[in-house]
Amino acid sequence: MALSRKHVEELSALIEARHRALLEELGREVARSRDEQYGAVAGATHDSGDEATADLIADLDHAEVSRDLGELRELEAARRRIADGAYGLCVDCGADIPFERLRAQPGAARCLACQQRHEKTYKM
């Protein structure tokens, strides 16, 4: 069943709210990263344990930023599908994506079956 106008409006609001939240989060991450880089240079030590911990934190921060950027790209693609009238249709098979799935993951571009196949194929 195709999405109703009301459902599209509700999902659009979710997309916009999450988009704003991600931009704010990324802005904080960039600012924090700059502050930490300054702190690392200003207080550089040669303790290998501290360096390993700092490397781990940097890797985790990088992974979080990468995840957030990926979600931001998904939301921007969802905005384009809304504008094109294709939102809620699986990009692989054309089937309707259930409203409940879109409410849980507004950037979803595939039905569950195609998403599982995609993840299996690309080992996500």
CB 21, CB 74: distance < 8 Å: no
Domain ranges of the chain: 5-122
CATH of domain 5-122: 1.20.120.910
pTM of the model as a whole: 0.77
pLDDT tens over the chain, length 124 residues? 789 999 999 999 999 999 999 999 998 888 887 766 555 555 555 666 666 656 556 666 778 888 999 999 999 999 999 999 999 999 999 999 999 999 999 999 999 999 999 999 988 6
